[in-house]
Structure 1
Amino acid sequence: MPKIVDHDQRRRELAGAVQRVIARDGVAEVSIRTVAAESGWSSGALRHYFATRDELLAFACEQVIEQVTARIAEMPADGPVREVARRALLETMPVDPARHTESAIAFGFLALGLGDPALARVQRLHFSSMFELCVRVSGALTPDLDEPGRRAAGRRLHAVVDGLTVHVLAGHLTAAEMVAELDAFLGSLP
């Protein structure tokens, strides 16, 4: 009897291997060869799922977006609105090693997406998902705003969250300093 292979599960396993390579060695070290070695697969077997490094990175980024979205959707919405908003935003920010890796993957697409339309699609998915979260958070924090006001407040919040994330990824802020700055920003809102 032939072995039944769950191809979606195999692709998710490979995305996990990409995340481990990035956590250990950085985005620049992701290649078909390094991910194959990390996963225990041959490069040829891996290429049955992903023909190029860019396809592998794109899938890994899509997996990160799905993971973060699922975590936020599963969060309890109890407590003060500002605290619920803060918890949701921190799920997207590099406050621990796992979320640092997720942020590194997502922001790795900033440069990659500039020259490749397929990667630009994933970059837009990341940014639009984060923007919509920030609009929802801004709407919860300032319910008196109309739709254009919520979208404008969401753009500002998105800029703050992404800016703080980039500063941590670049080593200019620690995770604790980033959280303190986010708290200061949220505390300044009406």
Structure 2
Amino acid sequence: MPKKVDHDQRKQKVAEACWRTIRNEGISGATVRKVSHEAGLSAGAMRHYFNSQEDLLLFSMKLVIDRIEGRFQKLTFSGTPVERSVQLLSQFLPLNKEQRLEMEVWYAFTAGVIHRPVFRSLCDEMDDKLRLACSIVIDRLSGSGLISRAINRRLETERLYALLDGLAVHGLLRPDRLTPETMVSLLRYHIAQLCGSAG
């Protein structure tokens, strides 16, 4: 009997090939021909999964979001409230090979919004998830009495968001300066400062 092909799994493999192509050649270089070559498929086989380059790129964007959400669902939190906050927010940082590739691809898509408005909805979705994670951290720390209830939670959420986004961008651009250990240390330090301690 012919081997049954798992279409969802194959689409994910193609999207991962699209990620690698984007990392090496940028969004404009992620043509169906180049991605099919990277995925080891014929252009005809690619058309079986994606009707156009736009469909391929949008699916590849959504897969980044899905992977991050998947990590959230598998997280087992431990340690102090500060450590649990760091564990949650670290999912948005390029701390290992997998997360680095996701972030490289994500910021390529984010930059692409300027010329490809079709990316806007998914970029906004990711941005909203990042802000929500920051808001959850601030609300939980405040609700636990670890930070003053008098703080401006909206502004602290935006400040934490700006820190996290900046760490991710500069962790990609200057990995020699912002190593994974440094990014986590800066994140931990900021949250500990919110709680009234640098330790």
State the TM-score, normalizing by the size of structure 1. Answer: 0.85
Residue by residue, what CA displacement relative to the aligned partner does 1:87-120 show, whole Å, maximum 9, x if unpaired? 1111110011111101111111222122333211
Match of 2:67 in 1: 67
Match of 2:191 in 1: 186
**RMSD, aligned α-carbons:** 2.5
Match of 1:50 in 2: 50
Q: Is the 8 A contact 1:27 1:104 kept in 2?
A: no
Specify whether residues 149 and 50 from structure 1 end up closer, same or farther in structure 2 by C-alpha distance, changes over 3 A only. farther
Residue by residue, what CA displacement relative to the aligned partner does 1:2-45 show, whole Å, maximum 9, x if unpaired? 8754432221121122233345x253443222211121101222
Structure of greater Rg: 2
Match of 2:166 in 1: 163
2:187 partner amino acid = L
Match of 1:174 in 2: 178
Residue by residue, what CA displacement relative to the aligned partner does 1:117-141 show, whole Å, maximum 9, x if unpaired? 3211111111011111111112122
1:171 partner amino acid = R
Match of 2:78 in 1: 78
Structure 1 range deviating more: 7-16 or 136-145: 136-145
Match of 2:35 in 1: 35
1:158 partner amino acid = Y
Q: Is the 8 A contact 2:109 2:123 kept in 1?
A: yes
Matched residues, percent identical? 30
Match of 2:128 in 1: 128
Q: Which secondary structure does the structure 1 equivalent of 2:92 belong to?
A: coil
Structure 2: 5+ residue runs without aligned partners? Answer: none
Q: Is the 8 A contact 1:54 1:119 kept in 2?
A: no
Structure 1 Cα separation of the partners of residues 64 and 55 of structure 2: 14
Structure 1 Cα separation of the partners of residues 161 and 89 of structure 2: 10
Deviation at 1:161, TM superposition (A): 0.4
Structure 1 Cα separation of the partners of residues 93 and 4 of structure 2: 38
Q: Is the 8 A contact 2:36 2:46 kept in 1?
A: yes
Structure 1: 5+ residue runs without aligned partners? Answer: none
Q: Which secondary structure does the structure 2 equivalent of 1:41 belong to?
A: coil
Structure 1 Cα separation of the partners of residues 78 and 183 of structure 2: 24
Structure 1 range deviating more: 67-76 or 112-121: 112-121
Structure 1 Cα separation of the partners of residues 79 and 183 of structure 2: 22
Structure 1 Cα separation of the partners of residues 71 and 157 of structure 2: 20
